[in-house]
């Protein structure tokens, strides 16, 4: 069975994607910092009969990233790395004038530096996989200038570029950066607590991610809404 590492898999998009992959028989290595919701999520995912290893930890911790890859190796290798865990930099979001620089550093560490650290750790196994892939979760804030989304958006823009260069350097892999679109999650609520407009549940965008894995289009940046629209 193919093996995926998914960061930030205790809730939201990460958990929904883990369930989507488990339904298709993927073995999984999942992380998040809080072990309680992570264990609950693992219970749901394991119901699909695949092997699931959960490792509570922070993606900014190099030893934890090494444990994630070692756990995947014990399951048979690394076919897919999904860097989904994310930090906003300020909760709620604030204009750049007020953005704490430590918050910006944290967003860069979680969203960008940890992504590269995990990929570096997993690269030997990804290269030896039959169809190795890296999937980083981006945002439209990486490409659009929304007030208050500057620090987070800058980290995601840098993540997009990192993925684009990795794709050129590693032509044997697929490297996709995916903007999932707005979703009703704790991250969105923390970013904009006063915005109570209805938003899609994360499970509704999972088919877009599965489509990438099914069709393996060229490395690049993709929007989940467009992937879903084209499939209808
Ligand atoms: N929601 C949206 O509207 C939206 C829009 C565009 C892009 N995105 C992107 O979609 C991805 C998923 O976000 P979401 O909305 O599903 O968020 P979410 O529901 O808040 O889930 C975030 C997950 O990441 C984990 N996490 C956070 N920091 C971590 C760290 N340092 N180390 C390990 N795990 C960590 C969280 O668990 P712990 O807190 O226990 O660690 C949780 O499992 C993110 O990359 C986000 O930027 C979201």
Of ligand 1's atoms, which has the minimum distance to the CA of residue 84?
45
Domain that residue 68 falls in: 3-231
- Give the separation between CA 18 and CA 221, rounded to whole angstroms: 21
For residue 31 and ligand 1, the question of a CB distance below 6 A is answered with yes
Average of pLDDT values for 192-200? 95
Q: Is pLDDT at 231 greater than 70 in this prediction? A: no
Share of residues in the chain with pLDDT > 90 (%): 96
Q: What is the pLDDT of residue 232?
A: 58
Sign of CA dihedral 110, 116, 117, 121: positive
* Model confidence band, residue 17 (pLDDT cutoffs 50, 70, 90): very high
Q: Which protein residue has the closest C-alpha to ligand 1 atom 5?
A: 182
- Give the separation between CA 80 and CA 27, rounded to whole angstroms: 10
Ligand 1 centroid vs 8 CA: distance in angstroms? 6
Q: Is pLDDT at 230 greater than 90 in this prediction? A: no
For residue 86 and ligand 1, the question of a CB distance below 6 A is answered with yes
Q: What is the pLDDT of residue 84?
A: 99
Q: What is the pLDDT of residue 175?
A: 99
Q: What is the pLDDT of residue 144?
A: 98
For residue 155 and ligand 1, the question of a CB distance below 6 A is answered with no
Q: Is pLDDT at 226 greater than 90 in this prediction? A: yes
Average of pLDDT values for 116-140? 98
Q: pLDDT tens across 74-111, in order?
A: 999 999 999 999 999 999 999 999 999 999 999 999 99
Of the listed ranges 38-52, 131-145, 155-169, the one predicted with least confidence: 38-52
For residue 151 and ligand 1, the question of a CB distance below 6 A is answered with no
Using the structure block, give the residue that is written with the tokens 């970013």.
Answer: 191
Count of domains in the chain? Answer: 1
- Give the separation between CA 221 and CA 160, rounded to whole angstroms: 7
Pocket mutation for ligand 1, best pick of 16, 32, 108, 204 (most atoms within 8 Å of C-beta): 32
Q: Is pLDDT at 221 greater than 90 in this prediction? A: yes
For residue 45 and ligand 1, the question of a CB distance below 6 A is answered with no
Establish whether 146 is a catalytic residue.
no
Q: What is the pLDDT of residue 48?
A: 84
Residue 35: count of CB within 10 angstroms of its CB: 15
- The enclosing domain of 19 has a CATH number of 3.40.50.720
Between 47 and 131, where is the model more confident?
131
Of ligand 1's atoms, which has the minimum distance to the CA of residue 10?
43
HSE on the CB side for 84, CA within 13 Å?
28
Report the DSSP pairing between strands 52-56 and 133-137: unpaired
């Amino acid at each position: 069975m193919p093996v995926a590492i998914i960061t930030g898999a205790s809730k939201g998009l990460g958990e929904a994607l883990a369930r989507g992959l488990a339904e298709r028989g993927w073995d999984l290595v999942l992380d998040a910092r809080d072990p309680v919701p992570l264990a609950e999520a693992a219970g749901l995912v394991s119901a699909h009969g695949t092997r699931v290893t959960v490792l509570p930890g922070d993606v900014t911790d190099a030893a934890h990233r090494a444990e994630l890859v070692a756990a995947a190796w014990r399951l048979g290798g690394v076919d897919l790395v999904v860097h989904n865990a994310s930090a906003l930099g300020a909760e709620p979001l604030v204009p750049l004038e007020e953005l704490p620089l430590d918050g910006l550093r944290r967003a860069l560490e979680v969203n960008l530096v940890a992504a590269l650290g995990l990929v570096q750790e997993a690269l030997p196994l990804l290269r030896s996989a039959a169809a190795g892939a890296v999937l980083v979760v981006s945002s439209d804030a990486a490409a659009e200038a929304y007030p208050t989304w500057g620090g987070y958006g800058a980290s995601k823009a840098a993540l997009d570029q990192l993925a684009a260069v990795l794709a050129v350097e590693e032509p044997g892999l697929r490297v996709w950066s995916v903007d999932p679109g707005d979703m009703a999650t704790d991250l969105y609520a923390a970013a904009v607590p006063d915005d109570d407009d209805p938003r899609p549940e994360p499970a509704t965008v999972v088919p877009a991610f599965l489509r990438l894995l099914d069709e393996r289009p060229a490395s690049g940046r993709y929007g989940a809404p467009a992937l879903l629209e084209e499939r209808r």
